[in-house]
Amino acid sequence: MEVRLLMHRPGVTCEPGTSLRDAARRMEDEGIGSLLVVDHHGALAGIVTDRDITLRAVGRGLLPEAPIESVMSPEPTTVHGYDDAFTAATLMATKGCRRLPVLDHDGHLEGVIALDDLVILFTEQLDKLVHTVALEQTPPTLKSVATPE
């Protein structure tokens, strides 16, 4: 399945100068764990997660007014909308990330895909496979044996 069919569109964005407080509030309001950081031209500049705010900001004693660019991950690993879900899963596994910005054919930001999206897809597929295997493993119904009279 293509990433574009699974991703969240559009990704929720902020600018590098957004304060940590405003970024955290935005994540809370949107019910999400990350923001895509875009420059004033709309180009992807980085990604910031709730974990980044917790560990890199609060853990280091940064003030809530500090800009998000001080804790964001610049140049994040990305995936294209036409890539398949296994490509996204492989990138997440090898790069150790839970979210990937999704780019279109021209390299413009299109959305974001999260590990949770892939887990749901793969769980649904695995459930279908388990059902198929279970049907094959079910012993055939015993036929009645006619006893001679």
Rounded to 5, what percent of the chain is helix, strand, coil?
Answer: 40, 20, 40
Q: Are strands 44-49 and 73-74 parallel, antiparallel or unpaired?
A: antiparallel
- Its pTM stands at 0.81
When pLDDT is averaged across residues 4-25 and rounded to a whole number, the result is 93
Number of Cβ within 10 Å of residue 61's Cβ equals 7
pLDDT for 111-126, tens place per residue? 999 999 999 999 888 8
Question: How sure is the predictor about 139, in pLDDT bands with cuts at 50, 70 and 90?
Answer: low
Nearest Cα to Cα of residue 17 among 47, 43, 37, 44: 37
Residue ranges with strand state E in 8-94: 13-14, 34-38, 44-49, 73-74, 79-80
